[in-house]
Amino acid sequence: MPDQAVPDTDYTLSPADAALIRSQARPSEQAGMLTAPVQELIHARDWLRMLAPRSVGGAELPLPQAVRLEEAIAAADGSTGWTVTLCAGAAWFAGFLPPAYAREVMATRGLCLGGSGAPSGHADVDGDGYRLTGRWDFATGAPMTTHFTMNAILRRDGQPLLDEAGAPRMRAFIVPASDVTVHENWHTIGQKATASHTFSLEGVFAGAHQAFDLTPEGAVAEGPLYRFPFLSLAFVTLGANMAGMAANFIGLARDVIGQRRHHVTRQPLAELPQVASALADGPAELAQLREHFYALLDRMWDQVCRREQVLEADIRNLHEVALRMVQAARRAVDELYPLCGLSACDGRSEIGRVWRDLHTATQHALLLPFAA
């Protein structure tokens, strides 16, 4: 039998929870962070622990189930879905920490992990620990984050430590929010409520137990989640967010276009052949790729659960389909956008916010067409 953890909680998005998230989307955007009701819901549902090991207080949710939940949340609101995805993904790192320390972190009231994957700082060896200094951008959920994670280049006596290939060595670290300075500089057109600010550290000491390696060999937890490749986990969770946001836009666009008429003939806009084609073809392509995406994810997850070898070709295929799904989402949305009229350009409109959120999210470096 596969060694797959089955959670006690039903991790699906209820209609009531989706309605609350939708109702708070505009207030969250205006506030530049998720509002208190949304944060309270996230913690009440324990979504931010869903990828952490059960052995340290997490849910250790099967990855395909977690990805489908993240897509559903993103379909309710892009900023909420993105924040849950990135912060729950950071809690996945608990599977690579010493269990006693991971348990301590997971027990934090209002737990939220966030951070940055860019190695834009350095870690100077200091006895049995390290001194962390640097500045890291795009820490999603920064105002609600209790622990920050980051990558840093290892140094000794000011000189980078090198690996066998002669490249600088890098490790990941986790520190409490009290050690971090947050710089409120997130000023994008969309995803405003993710509050993905910059943070910095200056000579902060981190013990050896706060350093970890995101490699299969570095996993401490035994479950299949921690054997699943980190890069693949990133591709599938971000890709699912794009599918959710696109589905939200498409639904809103159908309603808007359905109320419009051609300005000359007064014919219902949705009845024009080219408009009908736009309403059908792009969403159909996205739906087909989404189905293929989940079939590949489910198969790869089953292989990992059964401790079967996952071929590099299969990993690349999953990444490529995730990127194709993102591209199809963008195409479908952008074909419909001009048909929605000025309401889509109104900074106060729901459809305008969804468009801005999706196009901001697609700027993530991992989602570039050549990233796979």
pLDDT (tens digit, 9 = 90+) per residue, 242-283?
999 999 999 999 999 999 999 899 999 999 999 999 999 999
b vs e for 42-77, b when ≥16 Cβ sit within 10 Å of the residue's Cβ? Answer: bbebbbbbbbbbbbbbbbbbbbbbbbbbbbbbbbbb
What is the model's pLDDT at position 5? 43
pLDDT (tens digit, 9 = 90+) per residue, 208-239?
999 999 988 899 999 999 999 999 999 999 99
Query: Cα-flanking dihedrals φ and ψ of residue 276, to 5°?
Result: -60, -40
Q: For residues 225 and 297, give the distance between their C-alpha atoms in angstroms, rounded to a whole number.
A: 13
What is the model's pLDDT at position 368? 83
The reported pTM is 0.95
**Computed from CA positions of residues 174, 177, 178, 183, in that sequence, does the dihedral angle turn out positive or negative?**
positive
- pLDDT-based confidence at residue 9 (cuts at 50, 70, 90): low
Average pLDDT of span 66-85: 98
Least trusted range by pLDDT, from 35-39, 214-218, 230-234, 295-299: 214-218
In percent, the amount of the chain with pLDDT more than 70 equals 97
Which runs of consecutive H residues, i.e. helices, occur in 46-178?
Answer: 63-76, 78-91, 99-106
Residue 62 has pLDDT above 70, yes or no: yes
Best CA proximity match to 190, nearest among 40, 367, 72, 28: 28
pLDDT (tens digit, 9 = 90+) per residue, 172-198?
999 999 999 999 999 999 999 999 999
Average pLDDT of span 112-129: 97
pLDDT (tens digit, 9 = 90+) per residue, 350-372?
999 999 999 999 999 999 877 76
**Computed from CA positions of residues 259, 261, 266, 271, in that sequence, does the dihedral angle turn out positive or negative?**
negative
Q: For residues 49 and 92, give the distance between their C-alpha atoms in angstroms, rounded to a whole number.
A: 8
CB proximity list for 131: less than 8 A, separation 6 or greater:
123, 124, 203, 204, 205, 206
What is the model's pLDDT at position 371? 72
What is the model's pLDDT at position 242? 98
What is the model's pLDDT at position 2? 42
What is the model's pLDDT at position 10? 66
Query: Cα-flanking dihedrals φ and ψ of residue 176, to 5°?
Result: -70, 155
Q: Which has more pLDDT, 2 or 118?
A: 118
- pLDDT-based confidence at residue 330 (cuts at 50, 70, 90): very high
Residue 153 has pLDDT above 90, yes or no: yes
Average pLDDT for the chain:
95
- The secondary structure of the chain in percent helix, strand, coil, rounded to multiples of 5, reads 55, 15, 30
Considering only CA atoms, give the Rg of the chain.
Answer: 21
Best CA proximity match to 279, nearest among 327, 350, 326, 339: 339
Average pLDDT of span 115-136: 97
Residue 60 has pLDDT above 70, yes or no: yes
Residue 3 has pLDDT above 60, yes or no: no
Residue 1 has pLDDT above 70, yes or no: no
Residue 66 has pLDDT above 50, yes or no: yes
Q: Are 271 and 355 in contact (CB under 8 A)?
A: no
What is the model's pLDDT at position 263? 87
Q: Which domains are assigned to the chain?
A: 15-106 (1.10.540.10), 113-218 (2.40.110.10), 228-367 (1.20.140.10)
Residue 309 has pLDDT above 70, yes or no: yes
* Beta partners for residue 114, in sequence order: 148
